[in-house]
Amino acid sequence: MANIIDGKAVSAQVKENIKAEAAELKAKGIEIGLAVVIVGDDPASQVYVRNKEKACEYVGFNSYKYALPAETTEEELLALVDKLNNDDNVDGILVQLPLPKHLDDKLIINNIRPDKDVDAFHPVNVGKIMIGDYSFLPCTPAGVMELIHSTGVVVSGKKCVVVGRSNIVGKPMAMLLLHESGTVTICHSKTQDLKEVCSQADILVAAVGRPKMITADYVKEGAVVIDVGMDRDENGKLCGDVDFEDCKEKAGYITPVPGGVGPMTIAMLMKNTLTAGKLHKGV
């Protein structure tokens, strides 16, 4: 039976440290603020935004929620982003993705001030990640790294396989593993012999968005298996990209869904917001 990586516990520890630091800053009169913008009424996005607000409240940040109707125009959204860019109470700006189809994610992100871009999606921050010179790490890959560290398994020299090549998870994930000297393979829908490639991995990160596609035959005995998926199974129940029940005996360490990567994403957002706040306030 693998060790189950408790993302809730690891994230609680991260948030505890941030809470202590936020309290110290508050004693010096410095408050940290995160603006969260949500457009439309996608139910999953609403849950995620709620999680972010709750985390802010827990660690002692001010959170400013902007819930805009689905019909919001590009001009209106850009005007809000501009206002937040220039608001000294706002250290971090997060525009919840995906946006409704008539709004261009890329255009909106490009207009967020890079030093307030706590998701690290702005091209300036993406570029900084490539060269290993960053203030913000993208929240989900950063959370995955923390979970890997929590196992005590060292990345250096290990075979790492990332399944999925999105700009939000797969690509930056591969880069962070590379920064720690992993030997990294990125797999995707055109990869041949995917099972064979995955089953060589000492560290396997699944971020494809296909429910339970990673079964035990994709997993090397004793591997670290990290599941970034937020999928629904045939009964509409939340599950990951990894078939947890099938893999849990073979893996050395494995994350559950829920309670694995998800809580870490939120904790890393709080970490980035603290970093942004300290930068802005010259701490």
Residues that bind ligand BQF (CB under 6 A): 48, 51, 230, 258-259, 262-263, 265-266
Concerning whether 96 is annotated as a catalytic residue, the answer is yes
- Cβ–Cβ < 8 Å for 164, 185: no
Given the complex with ligand BQF, which of 208 and 266 has the nearer CB atom? 266
Given the complex with ligand BQF, which of 203 and 230 has the nearer CB atom? 230
Closest residue (Cβ) to ligand BQF?
A: 262
Given the complex with ligand BQF, which of 263 and 277 has the nearer CB atom? 263
Rounded to the nearest whole angstrom, what is the least distance from the CB of residue 52 to ligand BQF in the complex?
Answer: 7
Rounded to the nearest whole angstrom, what is the least distance from the CB of residue 217 to ligand BQF in the complex?
Answer: 25
Concerning whether 233 is annotated as a catalytic residue, the answer is no
Strands 231-232, 238-239: pairing is antiparallel
- The catalytically annotated residue of 91, 115, 119, 231 is 119
**Where do we find the tokens 């494995």?**
254
Rounded to the nearest whole angstrom, what is the least distance from the CB of residue 27 to ligand BQF in the complex?
Answer: 30
How far, in Å, CA of 161 to CA of 177, rounded? 9
Given the complex with ligand BQF, which of 60 and 258 has the nearer CB atom? 258
Give me 83's structure tokens: 């206002």
Burial state string for 245-266 with b = 16 or more CB within 10 A and e = fewer than 16:
ebbbebbbbbbbbeebbbbbbb
- Cβ–Cβ < 8 Å for 204, 222: no
Rounded to the nearest whole angstrom, what is the least distance from the CB of residue 97 to ligand BQF in the complex?
Answer: 6
DSSP per-residue string spanning 31-83: --EEEEEEES--HHHHHHHHHHHHHHHHHT-EEEEEEE-TT--HHHHHHHHHH
- The catalytically annotated residue of 15, 91, 96, 220 is 96
Chain CA centroid to CA 282, Å? 26
Given the complex with ligand BQF, which of 265 and 275 has the nearer CB atom? 265
Chain CA centroid to CA 90, Å? 21
- The catalytically annotated residue of 15, 52, 158, 248 is 52
Concerning whether 15 is annotated as a catalytic residue, the answer is no
How far, in Å, CA of 279 to CA of 263, rounded? 25
Rounded to the nearest whole angstrom, what is the least distance from the CB of residue 54 to ligand BQF in the complex?
Answer: 9
Q: Which residues are catalytic?
A: 52, 96, 119
